[in-house]
Structure 1
């Protein structure tokens, strides 16, 4: 279980724990919970910001500290079974079903089971039999063996051997990586890991991990790499900037590894329609021209006209030069 999951489980159980152990000291509580006193203080500070909708005085979990002892003065319902309202259940179901479509984020079988239980508890399941939701009868999304192996390695903190397809080089490479976390960027899932070959942090797109094998050794990425936030700056777009829609031929698919492009539509012949933001139309025109016939501007029309005019001017200059040389 990841450190985040471990802490979440601890936080969910802390309020009932302190209610069952009134006036327990910080040192005693930390020892029984298996954390340091510093971590216990951080957990209590976190719980102090949690509570019921409204999130004002009287809504948040509250404690009384007398000397070195701790007492719960308001539990905010943490000591009772969770009961979801219909809108809450619907929101969770929508989120779970969306997560099922993203490879590697969740265990499909576990998500399907959670959906069935929520549907049953909320009374929204149809065709249920003996209290078991019909959702369990639906096949869970098929997860590739590679995706399952990656998710297992991240969860268990194990090193991973992967075969990865690089669009920029149009070839497979084998490497050993130390997984850090799974991140979701736009419409794709990535494994963030320390690559032992590159000796640096790399993002590996799930659908390009052809094969993955969990190794019998601990994942050991450098601590600075673990503490740093995922570097997804390549994929970030400034909403204040204009955006171009490009038609990119399959021969230029390597562009997606190097430029902040977002796939809009994949075409049957392997080409893609993609969006890219830009600050200067003049710069964007030069950028597109550099790829020749492999990239074409679909929108905006002003950029398409600029690229066409620049190409015509360059072609006329080339023809004039050729005529001059012939004479």
Structure 2
């Protein structure tokens, strides 16, 4: 269901009890109360005439007296109460809106706070349930980042890059904080890379707010994270793995180019930022995955696995020597 259809469904479900409480109301007054145009309200009323209970006969459909100026519901087909949120739905909305209100750099904060106030008022005691809203990651670190964004101050950070397995120090100009898939990210202009970068908050090992203003270039291109943080492009290398049942979970957590059943196993193709990360990823999967392509990754995994086994054998020999010495 698209957004327009969902909006109309909600409006129709609330329209019947609204009209039941106001028999003979004028169309102009009802349209103003419901914040819709008279044309839209008339179209909604025409649709209501063909809605009702299964059977859809004369005694099953919603009926009304409508003279073109005034309207009165004469049969409600059981829709006599406004649409209500369940307790779980209301609490979920309260928690989500509180999280949005805590996120720095969020646009339309006033609208968020107004919506939160309305839902909390309607939820009553439920809104005061002992649910603490905390941004994921290190709370103190996110508070510092949030403050730097709001004060528009530059930061010196020590950051761990998982794809390259390295830690670097850099100065960044904070732009905004994002929450994606339950994680906090700092989006900033990186002076070292001379580009906009996303830094995962829990991978910032240290940070210091500098006594200088943040100065990201004007009209920088911000990341579109509507479909997630990692959005692989055709320029990235593609890796094909043969995964067993225990490794199929990777297709739910990583964007895949192709997933094809092959007997009891799956052939999974996905793009990666670099083959070094892919090598560590495959080794972490253990016996649940085998590399099919590319050849460089096959050789890299084989070499690192052999080195690990060799080291294991040496440690075993040292232990035996210690026992008999």
So what's the TM-score if we normalise by structure 2?
0.42
Bigger Rg, structure 1 or 2? 2
